[in-house]
Structure 1
Amino acid sequence: MGFVQAAVGAIVVYFVTKAIYNLYFHPLSRYPGPLLWRLSQLPQLVVMLQGVLPFRIKELHDKYGDVIRVGPNELSFVDSRAWKDIYPRKDFLRPPQWGARPPGVEAHNLISAPLEIHSRFRKALAPAFSEKATQEYEPTVRKYIDKLLVRLDETLKPDGDGNEEGVADIFQWLNFTTFDIIGDLSWGRAFHCLDSTKEHPFIAVLLHFKVALIATVIKHFPALDALMPYITPASALNMLHNVIKTGQQRIQERKESVAEKKDVIAYLTQYNESCVPEARMTDEEIEQNTLTIIVAGSETLTTALTGAFHYLLMENEKLGILSEEIRSTFGSEEQITGAKLAGLPYLNAVLSEALRLCPPLPDSLRRRVPKGGATIAGHTLHEGVTVATACWSQLQSASHFSEPESFAPERWLHGGPSKTFPNHDAKAFYPFSLGPHGCLGQSLAWLEMRMILALLVWRYDFSLPLGSAGEKAANGWRAQKIYWTWEKAPLLVRIRRAT
């Protein structure tokens, strides 16, 4: 009995001592933040699992200021200088608990890789996402957009007035399209979502972000993490292994194909054949990185495009301006190309504003201060501190963007502050991040976003359905939960062929 009491007493003393240290003696003790968050990482993790962490971080920044303490050893920044102070540096790596590999997977991907491996991956993958490669991918992108248009045409029925119209969930159709595109570009083979008009089972497993968040929480508690191989349900492991097996099979089939096609596997094969053996990507590394690319190359674009439709449907006048720009520029769908779309100011402004209001990754992009410490936005910090720009907070900050909650594509037409929008800090706008850990596929992302939105708006008139369906579609974007990315609700739209 005395031993048990002694053990309990020791545990109590440990936690009390740690709490006192975190509050009064920790190097970050001078930074403001809620009491419980300064004591423990647990409050932040709980809020994350509730799907509201970015919203809560913004509330804390509004209350405490530009730099706040959101964990015992973690700072969050709204100061836009933090972007350039953190992310261009190769040695600012993601903390391991925020970039964990799936159970049983040894190979790294771009998210989990340490510095040397990450640099090797970037070098291997960069040619596959260059401007030249993006131009080569355009026919593939166009093929699936044309298939989307055919599918949407099939949903239209005569309305009795000589027109054709229908109601469709634009979120679902955009999701089908972006997955088919990135599947073809990554593995030489689509998921056939547009053909079957169903979500591929592979996708549901790959996008199970809630499970990934739970795994991240567990990584914060090493003792519990050590038990994961023993307590993870066999069914969950089987689903994961099926995903990996599917990737292996598709990659192998693509390698054995004699078709001369430009896709990610083709570029990686060319790279491996031209470099020294120790620089090559292994088959397992290719598998893990193409899975990452498929998630990043579909989910992010679906978010941005669905967000754009949400706000355009709320702002009929701005949808009209966009339609006029596209239809007055092109006489036919065949004239619409990626190169020409890049020069349309209002189209690009709409997409930029959608990325600001509906950032694909609204959560914080956490990095660890490297050996020797660093200065972030004027704050000198010691080695090992976790730092991050609060993406949602920055993009919704009135100090960076005037009328931050308003959908105003016009703010992007001036190239900087204007009389209408005196606050316009482009240095706070990095929806795809930046630096060596930024999104490799930004050129491809912009090509897809422009072409999908432009071709849809050229062919169709969009509006909200009448009645309860329209009311449901009109619910605020911000009402959706965030589990790293947005948990998007169906977005029902009324579609009519443009006359």
Structure 2
Amino acid sequence: MKYLASALLLDVLYALAVHRRFNQHEPSLSWSLLLVLMVPLLLTWVLINHALSFPMVFLTAYVLFFTTLFTSIVAYRLSSFHPLAKYPGPIMCKISQLWAVLVYSRGKGHYYRKMLHDRYGPIVRIGPNELSVTEKDMLPYILGSQGMPKGPLFEGRRMTSVSDKDTEHFNLIVTRNMQRHAVLRKAWNRAFADAPLRDYEDLMLARARQLINALKTICEKQGGVAGVDVASWIGHFTFDFMGDMAFGGGFELMRDGDSERLLPNMAMSLYYACLCQAVPWFSPVLRNLPYIGEPIRAFGSFAFQQAKIRHDQEPDKKDLFYHLIAAYHADSEESPFTLILSNSILAIVAGADTTATVLRNTIFYLLTNPAYYARLREEVDAAFPPTETSALDTKSCPVSPS
């Protein structure tokens, strides 16, 4: 009994020590974490292996260890000693981010946040270590150039291997190093200056004409009027244009369809990233799970292949990575391939998914509000005379760009 009591006491003390360590340093899935979790079993086995069978030793060690650890964590997060104790919020949110995963999984995160702010005010504790702020005067101190660094949620949004440090180091969105972000942001700003935008414009107009002609053909085949899935066509259009703008071409979803399931894989990858931003430590596990993680792996593999093709084959026209590499190498001599690879997923998502979302919602609200649609059409027709040669030619627009 003496050895049993000693083993149990050591398990309790060790659990408290682990909580203290994790409280200062966010845990990540690694061999060192596995070693940390092995200690309770080893301690208990050494002290009481003569008195209990191995299954009982295992059960005794880990039931006590995890009960103590979780009790300590919950008590601390709800206590007045926590740095965020003074901020209001639901008890479930203060205890764990798993509640946020459930909310995000239903696509209701924005409604939930608004409900919390309506109830608790402009600053709400939405996680054990996370606040949601709607006070506009505080935004410059959070998101401004001298604001706060990015939090660990960006680790959960990663779609590449956590072992690929170069990819993390060169990605504008994922990197949490503020100095590195400033250098990358400067290069991206140059890549979207007036001159590069004129290069992208020709690519966009060609794809816009292709979309218009495809929809016209469908209608003509059905006597002038046809029902089409506009949302799907918009997704194919933006993906094709993104391919032209970022990778020098090669995507033909409007012409050939999406037989490789590029859009579904991208959508599922973004969905999983949304869930994992609440529990960043689970992101590498999810990516490697059989079947469930397949869309993420397929999307990541596709992005890698496109980055390799773009690096090996210089495009006929100046695309995004042409301008990005030129801008970045004005300040650095680091590898162009690493820059392309680390930002390929960003270029695909921002160029295809984000753009498609805006266009789909714009079209939906215009079609469901005919008065606004008619007013917008008048303004567009006035700026771009509706002729075959000028309807899509921005150079013919009489309105000043400013």
Shorter-chain TM-score: what band? Answer: 0.7 to 0.9
**Aligned residue identity for 1:116:** Q
User: Cα distance, 1:157 vs. partner?
Assistant: 3.5
**Aligned residue identity for 1:247:** Q
CA offsets per residue over residues 245-281 of structure 1, 9 Å max, x none? 42233213433x5x3x22112223434664442xx34
Q: Is 1:170 aligned to 2:230, yes or no?
A: yes
**Who wins on radius of gyration, i.e. which is larger?**
2
Q: Which residue of 1 aligns with 2:172?
A: 110
Q: CA distance change for structure 1 residues 240 and 181 in 2, over 3 Å: closer, same or farther?
A: closer
Aligned residue pairs total 335
- Among candidates 289, 293, 297, match of residue 343 of structure 2: 289
Q: CA RMSD in A?
A: 3.2
Q: CA distance change for structure 1 residues 232 and 110 in 2, over 3 Å: closer, same or farther?
A: farther
| Higher RCO (Cα < 8 Å, 6 or more apart) | 1
Q: Is 1:239 aligned to 2:298, yes or no?
A: yes
**Aligned residue identity for 1:181:** F
- 1:7-26, aligned counterparts within 5 Å? 8-25=63-80, 26=82
Q: Which residue of 1 aligns with 2:34?
A: none
Paired residues of 1:60 and 1:68 also in contact (CA < 8 A): yes
Partners in 1 of 2:259 and 2:148 — Cα distance?
A: 37
CA offsets per residue over residues 281-335 of structure 1, 9 Å max, x none? 4413312203211211121111111111111122111111112222244333433
Q: Is 1:99 aligned to 2:162, yes or no?
A: no
Q: Is 1:155 aligned to 2:214, yes or no?
A: no
Gapped runs of 5+ residues in structure 2? Answer: 9-58
Q: Which residue of 1 aligns with 2:324?
A: 268
Q: Which residue of 1 aligns with 2:247?
A: 187
Instruction: Name the SS for the 1:317 alignment partner.
Output: helix
User: Cα distance, 1:49 vs. partner?
Assistant: 2.2
**Aligned residue identity for 1:32:** P
Relative to the length of structure 2, the TM-score reads: 0.73
Gapped runs of 5+ residues in structure 1? Answer: 345-442, 447-499
Paired residues of 1:180 and 1:194 also in contact (CA < 8 A): yes
Paired residues of 1:176 and 1:199 also in contact (CA < 8 A): no
Q: CA distance change for structure 1 residues 301 and 188 in 2, over 3 Å: closer, same or farther?
A: same
Q: CA distance change for structure 1 residues 23 and 321 in 2, over 3 Å: closer, same or farther?
A: same
- 1:338-357, aligned counterparts within 5 Å? 338=394, 343=399
- Among candidates 174, 187, 203, match of residue 140 of structure 1: 203
Partners in 1 of 2:209 and 2:236 — Cα distance?
A: 13
Q: Which residue of 2 aligns with 1:254?
A: 313
Paired residues of 1:148 and 1:177 also in contact (CA < 8 A): yes
Q: Is 1:125 aligned to 2:188, yes or no?
A: yes
Paired residues of 1:157 and 1:165 also in contact (CA < 8 A): yes
Paired residues of 1:247 and 1:291 also in contact (CA < 8 A): no
User: Cα distance, 1:51 vs. partner?
Assistant: 2.1
Range with bigger deviation, 335-344 or 240-249: 335-344
User: Cα distance, 1:93 vs. partner?
Assistant: 2.5
- 1:441-452, aligned counterparts within 5 Å? none
Partners in 2 of 1:140 and 1:198 — Cα distance?
A: 20
**Aligned residue identity for 1:175:** G
Q: Which residue of 2 aligns with 1:65?
A: 121
Q: CA distance change for structure 1 residues 272 and 32 in 2, over 3 Å: closer, same or farther?
A: closer
**Aligned residue identity for 2:214:** R
User: Cα distance, 1:57 vs. partner?
Assistant: 1.0
CA offsets per residue over residues 89-140 of structure 1, 9 Å max, x none? 3562322343343225431211211223322322333221112211232111
Q: Which residue of 2 aligns with 1:464?
A: none
**Aligned residue identity for 2:198:** Q
**Aligned residue identity for 2:337:** D
Q: CA distance change for structure 1 residues 134 and 93 in 2, over 3 Å: closer, same or farther?
A: same
Relative to the length of structure 1, the TM-score reads: 0.60
**Aligned residue identity for 1:326:** V
Q: Is 1:211 aligned to 2:265, yes or no?
A: no
